[in-house]
Amino acid sequence: MHDEASLLMHAFNDQMGGRWELRIRASGCAVPVIYKNLMAGSTPDGVDPLLDLIRGYRAAMQAYNASPIDLDDEDNPDFPGFAERYHRLCNEPPMALTMTGAIEAVRLVVEEEDKCGNQPDLTIRVLLAALAYFDSEV
């Protein structure tokens, strides 16, 4: 499925002026494969929403983990943005627009799997967000 989507991605890029989104869901698969091309020229140099999301998530996670309070609720108002960022990473992370963003996405997946255990929603979607960047560089 990935190879077919990659071919479609490149074919539609010229026709759609570089701005499109393709969502594919295989029968029986709960996780859609999402490809986005935001056209590199449409965002300022160095802007990468995935990288910003990852950095914000790490900062919120660090504050959460450093708290001396025994917390049961990740949505605790003392840690604004932690749960929101986590849910966004698990559900619809933006495509990496820079090499740094794509690499940090892969690093985040490795760290999360190592420290927090198997998280298929985060792992699959964040890797797809990084892969979309690498596919656009081919």
**pLDDT digit string, tens, across residues 95-129:** 999 999 999 999 999 999 888 888 889 999 999 99
CA angle (30, 114, 58) in 5-degree steps: 85
Residue 109: what pLDDT?
Answer: 95
Cα end-to-end span (Å), the chain? 18
Is the pLDDT at 51 greater than 60? The verdict is yes
Q: Confidence band (pLDDT; 50, 70, 90) for 136? A: confident
d(CA 43, CA 20): 15
Per domain, the residue ranges of the chain are: 2-136
pLDDT in tens, 72-93: 555 555 566 788 899 999 999 9
Residue 55: what pLDDT?
Answer: 95
Q: Which of 32, 8, 31, 12 is nearest to 20 (CA)?
A: 12
For range 12-28, the mean pLDDT: 54
